[in-house]
Amino acid sequence: MKITGFKLAKLCVPLITPFKTALRTVTKIEDIILLVETDTGNIGYGEAPPTAVITGDTHGSIIDALRYHIMPAIIGMEVSDLSAITSTIQSAIVHNTNAKAAAEIAVYDLSAQAQNQPLYKMLGGGSPALSTDLTISLDGVDKMVADSLLAIKQGYKTLKIKVGNNIELDIKRIREIYKHTKGRVGLILDVNQGWSAEQTVKALEALEASGVKLDLIEQPVKADDIDGMQFITQRVSTPVMADESAFNAAQVRELLERKACDIINIKLMKTGGISNAIKIANIAEDFGAKCMIGCMLETSISVSAAAHFAAAHADIITHIDLDGPVLGTFDPVEGGTTFNGPKITLGDGPGLGIRAIKNLQYIEG
């Protein structure tokens, strides 16, 4: 099976409710879809969201990186040469991790199709059933409590609470949500770089003293503040997770060597795809650390790839944060992985199992 060409398309899925973090507010998923063509007629699917304030990738940069740098470098390559293809993708252009992720996802999809097995089996096996948490967007206290109670009704066992825009109000948000949900759900706090190291330690000490139990605190300080991450990790009993500080294998190794976090949040859009995600999971294993698998605002194309990867590394990836598809008003993908509330079920079809994608708007050029 040889790569012969590609198409690009835009896919728009409005969100059920706006997604709000300390960094941004988004009302729709509007991602670039990559269709990689082969001489056998098989198509590999990839997806990249614009995440300007996180990875720096925009619609324009994703399209250009794929069209002029990444895809021309791998056209003509044999799908069976998977490691040669992924290293070509990674060296075709610096940064542009979302575009690289889209290309790698499509190529891994094709590679598993060529082997006639689901991607997770090609990656090492595991269970096809996963359970995701749900994000509670940053909002007024009452709205966040109501959203949390609704999520419990929908069967979610873990909620990821977005805070980070006002520490006094954030503490009130957490206390109120904990009071109303205590014992029924696990809480992860995602600060999205909104606090200082000293503020974080004080806030967690106050919360711990008042009996609030959190499963994790995620990325409390700025991405490049590794000293701050280390300061916090060494002073609080709540496990600390690195997200924006942990894009690549070198950063993950430094964080774990310095004991600057307990857990790593792996996202394919940060790592530039599956090959580096595997490297990070292996580094975490060497350090005895666990990982979360996360996603950006993505549909079930790229989130499905993340789920397959997580299933194959279930001993390391103990936290699943793949709620992108359920935040959308509809699932544009036919076939493959199903996303039903907290339940993710991987399909048995070859590769990602995608048969068709609705509402694709092809990009000319």
Residues near Mg ion (CB under 5 A): 190, 218, 243
Residue type, 245: S
Helix (H) or strand (E) holding 71: helix 71-74
The tokens for 86 are 């992924």
Cβ-contact 278, 306 below 8 angstroms: no
Taking the C-alpha atoms of residue 106 and residue 121, their distance in angstroms, rounded to an integer, is 16
CA–CA distance, 296 with 52 (Å, rounded to integer)? 11
- Give the shortest CB-68-to-Mg ion separation in angstroms: 31
HSE at residue 35, side-chain half, CA atoms within 13 A, is: 17
Cα-to-chain-centroid distance, residue 277: 11
From the list 100, 121, 160, 162, the catalytic residue is 162
Angle (nearest 5°) at CA 20 between 16 and 24? 125
**Shortest-Cβ-distance residue relative to Mg ion:** 243
Residue 233 main-chain phi, psi, to 5 deg = -60, -35
* Catalytic residue check, 162: yes
- Are 20 and 272 spatial neighbours (Cβ–Cβ below 8 Å)? no
Q: Which is nearer to Mg ion, 99 or 246 (CB)?
A: 246
Strands 361-362 and 343-345 come out as: unpaired
Catalytic residue among 160, 267, 270, 290: 267
| Paired tokens of 364 | 């000319």
Q: Say if residues 225 and 204 touch (Cβ distance below 8 Å).
A: no
Paired strand residues for 14: 28
Nearest approach, Cβ of 347 to Mg ion (angstroms)? 27
Amino acid identity for residue 56 in this structure? G
Give the catalytic positions in this structure: 162, 267
